[in-house]
Structure 1
Amino acid sequence: MEPKKVPVSSSAISLSNSDSQDSSMDYSHDKRDSNSLKNGHEKHKNMADSNNEDLDLRRVATKTTILSIMADNQSFTGDEYMIDQERIPVENDGEEFKSIDPELVAWELDSPENPRNWRPAKKIFVTIIVSMYAFISPLSATIMSPASKNLAKEFNITSSIVPALVTSIHLLAWVIGPLVIAPLSENDRLGRRLIINATCWITLVFNIGCAFSTNITQLLILRFCAGLFSATPLNVSPAIVSDMFDAKSRNVSLAGVFLIPLVGSAIAPIIGGYVVEAKGWRWVLYTLAIINGAIAVIGSCLLVETFAPKLLYKKAKSLRKSTGNPNFHTIYELSGDGFSLSKLKDTVTRPLVLLCTNPLVFGLGSFMAFIYGINFLMVVTFPAVFGKSYGFSPSTAGLMFLSLAVGFFLGVVVWTIVLGHVYKTLVEKHGEAKPEFRLPCLFISAVIMPIGLFWYGWSAQYKLHWIMPCIGSGMFSFGVVCVFQALQSYLIDMNPAFAASSIAAASMFRFFLGFVFPLFAHAMYDKLGYGWGNSLCAFLAIALGIPFPFLCYKYGERLRGWSNARMEKSEERRRERRQEALKKKAQALKK
């Protein structure tokens, strides 16, 4: 792809327009591979030694020009990498500015150092490592589900809420953790690798602490702290995949990263069931720590950095050292990119604002949250359902979670193909792409999920063969995948500039209900029984699952226009503040 041509005013002064023709002052960037990079920049040493006042003035003018272009040109505003405290997309990470700033470090065309240009085998390998990190999050959350009875016995707990809280409190931490920790991975000094590795090791420390808890209060506090950090891979893993693959080629890899947490939430109780039966609840946490530690070691040794701003920062730092020229910089350093309280405030508040003010985000987020809540309600109550009704041991009851895992796996395989085919067909039929074309399959899942809940509940109520409730729960989990994939794609497509915030808003709501639902699950089943308890969930799934997709499909374009106009007004005010800040920075450089 050819770099974008940058509009430069006639008054702009650039380093490339230097009056000096001395070859020692020629620092245009030639195409070169990574092995010759150091030698290719040796000619810049003289720049640092010359201490030329005129050259320094031209450097200042060049930076001023770039900052002014960013401030004035709307084509450089949007959602991409963080520059200063705003998101500004730059093709090839600043390649388009190199014609006026030869000291700007960006990717050479087809550079093998650019993660987008890595070999497919390397990309797949990194995706596998990242998926291992994503596995830790649900593993930590649900592995303690089969140990509820043992915890209640050891700590003399009579309430059904507290043992359920040991599992669900992890999800409460997931509401908060990603909003605060995940943005750190967008800092060009830190990058993805450091953050995902650090949070994995910190999660390990808290998981070990959980195993040595002497009372339920300690256990709950440490479980919450572990959840704060274990949630990070859920957000950073898709970002790492996006670093390596463009929008057209990342669907399969993202589907894999999406599948791992779902399957992990179903596999973890199987592990927990066998361990708690053989060794007790503390060994469940020891096992979790062993798996957590193994992944932390493997990831720390094998995971490579994928975040382009971080890689370019290291490249610029190396050039500054090898050439003796301290003026090499990246486009992100130019504007003073860095983590700040104001950036954190925007990251935290924007999803909340969207959730409270955007009817599409709230409506579809509510449906996603409700379905996710039912999913975790199943996770918490499976041991009791198959333990009481069928007399299964914890290990055998844990095997019943395979029905959820099979449903999730088949769902990702089937719905990835079906959703893509339906979307492509509608685009070809109408001659344009609309976010609403992501939604038709929801009408199928709106039927499958309630059927699964009815099947699961009444077969457990009448103690039919154990395979019957497993089939029902598998049908439900199969439909869940369609809901998540379709609605996440819709939230991204309805306004790409606010995609991250829309997903974050829906995730916050989803994790919160995932925390709440298990707390009343046992009381609901004790009062209504498995049949009517799951029927209540099924009726609510119908009440939410049919109207919302229908309204969004029929009136979505109108609602999007209204809600996007409101968001654009708010964003315009933020853009004006950003432009003013960049202009002030440019003026400060002139002085």
Structure 2
Amino acid sequence: MPQQQTDERTQLLKNGRPNAGSNNNDAGHSSAQADSGDEADVETVDFETEDDEDPHYWPNSIRYLQVFLIFIIGLICPMSSSIFAPGIDTISSAFGTSNQAVIGAQTGFVCMLGIGPLFFAPMSETFGRRPVFLINLTLFTLMQIPSALAPNIASFIVFRTLSGLFGSVSVANGGGTVSDLFQTHERATVLGFYLLGTIVLQQKKERLEKENEGKKYKIKGVSDMGLFQKISGNSTRACKILFQQPVVLTMSTYQALIFSTMYSLYTNFSSIWSDLYGFDTTEVALSYLGPATGFILTACIIVPFIDRIYNNLAKTRNNGKGKPEYRLPLANIGAICLPVSLFWFGWTVEYQKPWPVSLSAMLLFGASQVSIFNTVQNYYIDAFESMAASALAAGAFLRSMVGGIVPLFVPMLIDKLGYGWGLSLFGFLAAILTPAPLLFYWYGERLRQKFAVDL
């Protein structure tokens, strides 16, 4: 038995409290708390120092296997939100409806990517991450069948919306899983190539209760509230963090701008490349490799440096102690690339410059996504470590709602202003937000303290 537990139990005996369960399997749970009345003591289940059961200390092979699975889930579920974009014309023709109605299926899917985490994050705390992942991914997979066989646009929109709801489990639990598996100084690299601990502790709690009949255990840091109370609390926390923290509100708005621009571009790729450049359906589909290439190249180059810069800044500026703001420097690359890519793409398309010139702008657009998203997600996890799921849910909610709704109006905007001025409007907004990562690097800590959220 660990010395700390022995001392605590000795003190309880001195105070005249019962020492229930002291003769059975004490490893892995910490201080005892006496309930009022005749109820049994409730002991807290937690990991010991360098506990083999703690996911932070699992073998690297197991941890990286978990990350690989999270990466695949995180890639497939959001990617499917716009996977049908090259076939929008075909789908609208088959259903006898407008392109805008088909985009409505994307809107429903993307909006659910923001709403789902408000429910699934607290559900994973109650039931464990694994069952929440498995159930939702199974339903997500099954939803593809009625989506493919939908007889009309209404059913297509409904099933696509449900797909987004179930697929949002990747947004709800992905970042938390990485947070549970890796320490702060090594988290960014792993998260870039995207809270398992509560699975593990829940199983430990159940095992201890079986071994110590009549004894109650509580998982450290996990609320005993009911599921609906947790959902309500998670939603409330997410809203508080979003609207009371200037850094979160601004950077979530930044993400929302990227999301809305991304989906607006993707839903208009077909008309851009087929109508203006004469691409066939296959060539239109290949045009998506432009932003994807920028995304992948930047991930390989920049993401590994997020942890290195963080650790170096902690060492040189703060006596080895890290700060969430040390995650933000690389976001400045994306802050510059985003407006440049939008102005570049909009005006080269407007004047129908050779397609390689226009498509090259999408390399910078993909780079901006990685630079901003990865740094900001890591910032949220570090700044709100105990409430990381709520902070991530706050960002996901805003960017998904904006990213889902804005593309509905972009075709009308393009018709009225043209591609040059239409995309320049997004570019001007991106230019206004360009200083944000630099400003928050210097003043973010002060703002977090001044506008601290009472959770």
Task: State the TM-score, normalized to the length of structure 2.
Answer: 0.86
Partner of 1:169: 108
Contact 1:115/1:243 (8 A) holds in 2: yes
Partner of 1:78: none
Contact 1:491/1:499 (8 A) holds in 2: yes
Q: Which amino acid aligns with 1:63?
A: D
| Cα distance per residue 1:455-506 (max 9 Å; x no partner) | 2222222222222222101111101211112222333334434433222212
Query: Structure 2 stretches of 5 or more lacking a match?
Result: 29-33
Q: Tell me, in whole angstroms, the C-alpha distance in 2 between the residues paired with 1:209 and 1:314.
A: 39
Q: Which amino acid aligns with 1:530?
A: Y
Contact 2:54/2:197 (8 A) holds in 1: no
Task: State the TM-score, normalized to the length of structure 1.
Answer: 0.68
Change (3 A) 1:535 1:169: same
How many pairs does the alignment contain? 442
Q: Determine helix, strand or coil for the equivalent of 1:331.
A: strand
Q: Tell me, in whole angstroms, the C-alpha distance in 2 between the residues paired with 1:372 and 1:233.
A: 17
Query: How does 1:97-116 map onto structure 2 within 5 Å?
Result: 110-111=51-52, 113-116=53-56
Partner of 2:90: 150
Aligned pair partner of 1:357 in 228, 241, 244 = 244
- Deviation (angstroms), 1:435: 3.1
Q: Tell me, in whole angstroms, the C-alpha distance in 2 between the residues paired with 1:30 and 1:137.
A: 39
Change (3 A) 1:128 1:142: same
Query: How does 1:155-554 map onto structure 2 within 5 Å?
Result: 155-158=95-98, 160-187=99-126, 190-257=127-194, 307-316=199-208, 319-320=210-211, 326-327=213-214, 330-332=217-219, 337=224, 339-432=226-319, 433-546=322-435, 548-554=436-442
Q: Tell me, in whole angstroms, the C-alpha distance in 2 between the residues paired with 1:191 and 1:498.
A: 16
Q: Determine helix, strand or coil for the equivalent of 1:132.
A: helix
Contact 1:375/1:477 (8 A) holds in 2: no
Residue 63 (structure 2) pairs with residue 123 (structure 1): yes
Q: Determine helix, strand or coil for the equivalent of 1:477.
A: helix
Residue 443 (structure 2) pairs with residue 555 (structure 1): yes
Contact 1:193/1:306 (8 A) holds in 2: no
Q: Determine helix, strand or coil for the equivalent of 1:214.
A: coil
- Deviation (angstroms), 1:306: 7.5
Change (3 A) 1:197 1:492: closer
How much identity, in percent, do the aligned residues show? Answer: 27
Q: Determine helix, strand or coil for the equivalent of 2:15.
A: coil
Q: Tell me, in whole angstroms, the C-alpha distance in 2 between the residues paired with 1:505 and 1:3.
A: 41
Query: Structure 1 stretches of 5 or more lacking a match?
Result: 19-25, 32-55, 68-89, 97-108, 258-303, 572-591
Q: Tell me, in whole angstroms, the C-alpha distance in 2 between the residues paired with 1:376 and 1:12.
A: 65
Contact 1:442/1:545 (8 A) holds in 2: no
Q: Tell me, in whole angstroms, the C-alpha distance in 2 between the residues paired with 1:335 and 1:184.
A: 12
Contact 2:82/2:106 (8 A) holds in 1: yes
Change (3 A) 1:336 1:529: closer
| Cα distance per residue 1:288-346 (max 9 Å; x no partner) | xxxxxxxxxxxxxxxx99822232145336x54xxxx5246543399993643221110
Residue 19 (structure 2) pairs with residue 15 (structure 1): yes
Change (3 A) 1:220 1:429: same
Change (3 A) 1:4 1:148: farther
- Deviation (angstroms), 1:180: 1.1
Task: Return 459-468 or 495-504, whichever deviates more.
Answer: 495-504
Change (3 A) 1:4 1:203: farther
- Deviation (angstroms), 1:150: 1.3
Change (3 A) 1:314 1:157: same
| Cα distance per residue 1:22-78 (max 9 Å; x no partner) | xxxx436579xxxxxxxxxxxxxxxxxxxxxxxx99x968716x58xxxxxxxxxxx
Contact 1:305/1:311 (8 A) holds in 2: no
- Deviation (angstroms), 1:385: 1.1
Partner of 1:102: none
Contact 2:180/2:197 (8 A) holds in 1: no
Q: Which amino acid aligns with 1:424?
A: N
Q: Tell me, in whole angstroms, the C-alpha distance in 2 between the residues paired with 1:60 and 1:438.
A: 50
- Deviation (angstroms), 1:144: 1.4
Change (3 A) 1:470 1:382: same
Contact 2:20/2:215 (8 A) holds in 1: no
- Deviation (angstroms), 1:510: 0.6
- Deviation (angstroms), 1:227: 1.0
Q: Which amino acid aligns with 1:215?
A: N
Q: Tell me, in whole angstroms, the C-alpha distance in 2 between the residues paired with 1:128 and 1:255.
A: 11
Contact 2:112/2:164 (8 A) holds in 1: yes
- Deviation (angstroms), 1:445: 2.4
Q: Tell me, in whole angstroms, the C-alpha distance in 2 between the residues paired with 1:117 and 1:495.
A: 22
Change (3 A) 1:3 1:480: farther
Partner of 2:31: none
